[in-house]
Amino acid sequence: MMTDRIKIKEIDSSNTSDVKQYNPSNRIYVRAMYGFYQKLRRYTGWGLIVAFVALPLMQWNGQQAILFDIADQQYHIFNMTLFPQDLTLLAWVFIIAAFALFFITTYLGRVWCGYTCPQTVWTFIFIWFEERCEGSANKRKRLDQMSWSFNKIWRKTAKHIGWITFSLLTGLAFSSYFVPVRELYLDFFTFNTGFATTTSVLFFTVITYINAGWMRSIVCLHMCPYARFQSAMFDKNTYIVGYDAKRGETRGPRSRKDSPEELGLGDCVDCDLCVQVCPTGIDIRNGLQYECINCGACVDACDYTMDKMGYPRGLISYTTEEKLAGKKTKVLRPKIIGYGALLLIMIAVFFINIANLSSAEMEILRDRNVLYRENSQGLTENTYTLKILNKTIKTQTYDLSFSGLKDAQLLGPNQIIIKPGEVLTQPISIAVDPYGIKENKIYITITLTGASGEVETIEQQTTFFLGL
């Protein structure tokens, strides 16, 4: 509804001498901050990186657990092997991811950006290298302002070595989803990888180094489309990082012993910590801004200051526009319910499609040069070529049969053995005495019996030319 839109807060630009304006050309020296949300973000980020690197290293039934083998057009995901004809599942994955993003954004704002986006995770990892090599934010700033010296050179060199090493690990980890990991690492460091593999590893190494090391917030502010269309999903009940202006204003410095009421001040001491810890360099006190990625760094910084001053926490917090206005937040609302219902339906359809995936596929090609022929026994014979794909990771034995024609004969094998991922081309013939037969439809069937006794049957219809 139009009435649910968040009102735009106008900022008087005529008097901004005391406001630290963000300039994208300036480097942002993010100050380290520790607190509940930063601990949550840090553990989430490290967990995602470990999972990203470790998943291709896992083995499943004697082969790589996750391997997208583009050359052989086989995509192995644990016990499941997908082929190009199964890639409609990929469309469902993208649709589910989109609606999950809509649902989360409507409810919790840009928490995806703040906690799980690869750009954010890798940026904070690179900042971690900066802190270890060059020190805190103020030390890094002073180091950049100093003239070149041995101290500056070795610190900068150590930082960039760390960045490049981690970027190379990222490139190798990404490529290991498409190239067998045991071959990749050994061949790469012994200079035996092919051109395509080497190019992909180096490409992602360079992209990671540039994005996380140099561009950082520029990617979030000027390149990521999500920052631009997120406002379409926000409403007054969306949880955002917000500043309680009623409590905080008028802001100003004071002693811990001073009473803010007597000084005519709010709880904000104007320490600027919320700006110093922000990875995009904004001042959250100016209101909701599209640059905010909801990482919660300013929340932890403000709570730290409030604790030191002896004031209640929550001056900056995860809140909603309704709550800041003194109203009650509505969690369950039509938009949330709609996104949630659609998301559940799509997840259900996705798993139904997975459950209905067959372990084999069959295609029947008939001989179009000779539609039928009469053999030496006086029977009418049709020739077919079966193309059968084994979509499992094991060698399978399939029973071959047919139905639809009375007293017909199968001229070919009754069992076929197919290796994992192999497409077997098997010619067969079916012969029948045509007199007295009116039906010309036949059904060719392959049957697979699993180790635990379950039976899977794949049947296709084709035509039998009687020659009458």
62 found inside a domain: no
- Determine, yes or no, domain membership for 386: yes
Range of the domain at 367: 360-463
In Å, how far from its chain's centre is CA 256?
A: 47
What's the pLDDT band for 4 if we cut at 50, 70, 90? Answer: low
**Alpha-carbon distance 260 to 450, whole Å?**
76
pLDDT of 147 reads 93
Q: Reply yes or no on whether the pLDDT at 2 is more than 50.
A: no
pLDDT of residue 12: 52
Give a yes or no: residue 367 inside a domain: yes
pLDDT of residue 266: 93
Peptide bond into 250 cis (omega under 30): yes
The answer to whether residue 248 is domain-embedded is no
Angstrom distances, CA of residue 216 to CA of 211, 430, 450: 6, 67, 52
414 within some domain: yes
For residue 363, CA distances in Å to 109, 360, 429, 455, 465 come to 49, 10, 15, 20, 18
Q: Is residue 437 in a domain?
A: yes
Q: Mean pLDDT: which of 88-92, 120-124, 461-465 is highest? A: 120-124
For residue 178, pLDDT over 90 is answered with yes
Per-residue model confidence as pLDDT tens digits over 56-66: 999 887 788 89
pLDDT band at 235 (very low <50, low <70, confident <90, very high): confident
pLDDT of 233 strictly over 70: yes
Tokens (6 digits) for 242: 């917000």
Is 82 among the domain residues? no
**Per-residue pLDDT, 91:** 87
Confidence tier at 232 by pLDDT (50, 70, 90): confident
Tens digits of residue pLDDT in 69-83: 888 788 888 878 888
> Is there a contact between 362 and 459 (Cβ–Cβ < 8 Å)?
no
pLDDT tens by residue, 269-306: 999 999 999 998 899 999 888 889 999 999 999 999 99
Instruction: Read off the pLDDT band of 243 (50, 70, 90).
Output: very high
By mean pLDDT, which of 12-26, 157-171, 233-247, 354-368 is the weakest? 12-26
pLDDT at 7 over 50: yes
How many other C-beta atoms lie within 10 A of the C-beta of residue 35?
18
Kindly tell me if the per-residue pLDDT of 3 is higher than 60. no
CA dihedral 274→275→277→282, nearest 10 degrees, is 120
| Inside any domain, residue 288 | no
Q: Own/partner pairs for 94-101, CB < 8 Å, 24+ apart?
A: 95/346, 96/343, 96/346, 96/347, 96/350, 99/339, 99/342, 99/343, 99/346, 100/343, 101/226
- What does residue 107 show for φ and ψ, rounded to 5 degrees? -90, -50
User: C-alpha dihedral over 189, 194, 195, 196, to 10 degrees?
Assistant: -100
- Please tell me the predicted confidence (pLDDT) of residue 158: 96
pLDDT of residue 5: 55
Question: Per residue in 397-412, pLDDT tens?
Answer: 899 998 888 888 888 8
Q: Which of 183-187, 249-253, 463-467 has the lowest mean pLDDT?
A: 463-467
Query: Taking residues 210-220, what's their average pLDDT?
Result: 90
| pLDDT reported for residue 253 | 92
Rounded to whole angstroms, the Cα distance separating 143 from 150 reads 12
Question: 16 pLDDT exceeds 70?
Answer: no
Which stretch of 145-159, 218-232, 374-388, 411-425 has the lowest confidence by average pLDDT? 218-232
- Please count the structural domains in the chain: 1
CATH of the domain at 392: 2.60.40.10
Question: What is the average pLDDT across 162-189?
Answer: 93
The 10s digit of each residue's pLDDT in 411-457 is 888 899 998 888 899 999 999 888 877 777 889 999 988 666 778 88
